[in-house]
Amino acid sequence: MALHLYNTLSGKIEEFRPLEDNEVRMYACGLTVYDYGHIGNFRTFIAIDVLHRFLVQSGYQVRHVMNITDVDDKIIRNSSRAAIPVKEYTAKFERAFLEDTITVNIEQPIFVRATDHIQEMAKFIAELESKGFAYRTEDGSYYFRIAKFPNYGKLSKRDFAGMEDGARVDVDEYEKDNARDFALWKSPKPGEAFWDTPIGRGRPGWHIECSVMSMETLGESFDLHAGGEDLIFPHHENEIAQSEALTGKPFAHFWFHARFLLVEGEKMSKSLGNFFTLRDLVLKGHKPSSIRYLLSSVPYRNQLNFTFDGLKQAATSVERLRNFWLRLTAANFSEGATATIVQLALETVQRMKSALEDDLNTAQAQAAIFDMVRKANAAIDNGEIRKDDVAPLLAAMDKFEEIFAVLKDDDVPKMKSILEWAKSAGREQDISNELLEIVQSGALSSEQVNHKVAEMEQARRARNFSKSDAIRAELAAAGIIVENTKDGVRWKRK
């Protein structure tokens, strides 16, 4: 079997084959930086990241470009309201977005910024105009002429054939030839930000940036284009129209769309009060690893119901996996190997691979690792695991980690920096006690903890339990949990 993905363009699950043998060129629509990224954004970005990571794991060279939209109507409006330049307005959110991608362990793509490509966009539009696909209106805006592009609608499966030029005229857009024609370039209204270009003053329409930047970085035809499901129409449909009108070649071959999530069973919206940015959740004391785990646990084409209960469950699940990893690395096993265990590890790797090859079925991949963990834990208890079994089991865990990226415990420093941000951004009132407690567990260095734990062990061996309990309590207060297992003592941060 090989990787099979649902392709929005064909409406079917297809085998994914890159245009060039070993290289995958993919482009993803990133964030419009007029605000902080919310969990819906990150559900999509994590789905794309899982794809990226799995392609790498499958042996491909991956060239993954993600755009940052740093000019659009909302940005223009908000920045002019705040009376600050566009660039200054977006810089803050752009920085936050880049930090957030690191917070949830997104394998870094090549980021490209819309405002760095304005001149290329103008050139692109000029070429479209010379080929008759674009026209200029009286105010200096440019529109794409849909009637010239017969395939319009092929991605979103819409039929525009019945639409004649001028058949329906939108009163607000009286300058357009056809109501469906979309903006390539917008002339500035008084006071609005603009760029000077050979096609005049103005700013790009929403869709043009992705056509320009993807073709510039990946070529006229590339393998895969990704985004949230809402982008299918009009954004991606329009990108196809512009791009293929210009080049006459197929644009992206695969179209990958992640489904919207629900929050507590309802559509996320500010008015319902269930709208959360990534930072909101961390401030409430939720670990980035829990968030990532929950967001990746439901296959990307299924609706995911994001709940706080689910977030707690995710935290426990991650904990279970981390505990197993610790147990495996800490315990002393006898010499030799047990064939059934080695076999189990190999089967698990295979199960994960098959699951992910099946349109990235993350739920099944997770089920596979949990099956292994349960069986291996039981085997450890029964003394059936020996030294040479550890490496294959760890290898399976590593394969899992390469995709899901939740086992490595670096939550505390990440949460700490978000805590610092909150203080500097005037969000003190949103800092929860849970967050403070977790961050506090990072206060003691590992050396300090090791020292205390050794002291505690000494007291325990001397059966001085009042002293050992006192140390245990002291460490617990500092957010350190000490565990005495059959295999010896170990500790972890809360």
Partner RNA sequence: GGCGCGGUACCCAAGUGGUAAGGGAGAGGUCUGCAAAACCUUUAUACGUGGGUUCGAUUCCCACCCGCGCCUCCA
Q: How far is the CB of 452 from RNA (least distance, A)?
A: 14
Which among 7, 38, 455, 17 has a CA at the least distance from the CA of 269? 38
Q: How far is the CB of 326 from RNA (least distance, A)?
A: 8
Which structure tokens are listed for 344? 């189990």
CA–CA separation, 168 and 207 (whole Å): 23
Q: Which of 22, 130, 303, 445 binds RNA (CB under 7 A)?
A: 303
Q: How far is the CB of 484 from RNA (least distance, A)?
A: 4
Residue 78: what residue type? N
Q: Treating both helix axes as pointing N-terminal to C-terminal, what angle do 288-297 and 362-381 enclose, rounded to 10 degrees?
A: 120
Q: Which of 10, 108, 465, 474 binds RNA (CB under 7 A)?
A: 465
Positions 470 through 489 that interact with RNA (CB under 7 A): 472, 481-486
How many chain residues are in contact with RNA, going by CB under 7 A? 76
468 is an interface residue for RNA by CB under 7 A: yes
CA–CA separation, 239 and 210 (whole Å): 7
Residue 368's alpha-carbon distances to 258, 297, 353, 356, 372, in angstroms, are 23, 13, 10, 11, 6
Burial class (CB in 10 A: 0-12, 13-18, 19+), 154: middle
74 is an interface residue for RNA by CB under 7 A: yes
Nearer to RNA, 57 or 313 (CB): 313
DSSP H stretches of helix in 146-277:
208-218, 237-247
Which among 61, 29, 454 has a CA at the least distance from the CA of 252? 29
Positions 165 through 224 that interact with RNA (CB under 7 A): 206
Nearer to RNA, 418 or 480 (CB): 480
Nearer to RNA, 356 or 431 (CB): 356
Note whether 195 and 118 are within 8 A (CB): yes
Stretches 53-61, 93-101, 120-128, 468-476: which one binds RNA (CB under 7 A)? 468-476
Return the bridge partners of 222, or none: 252
Residue 310: what residue type? G
Q: How far is the CB of 329 from RNA (least distance, A)?
A: 13
Q: Which of 22, 271, 316, 433 binds RNA (CB under 7 A)?
A: 316
Positions 376 through 435 that interact with RNA (CB under 7 A): 377-378, 380-381
Positions 237 through 276 that interact with RNA (CB under 7 A): 258-262, 265-268
309 is an interface residue for RNA by CB under 7 A: yes
Nearer to RNA, 60 or 211 (CB): 211
Q: Write the binding mask 346 to 385 for RNA: x where contact by CB under 7 A, - elsewhere.
A: ------------x--x-xx-xx--xx-xxx-xx-xx----
Radius of gyration of the chain (CA): 27
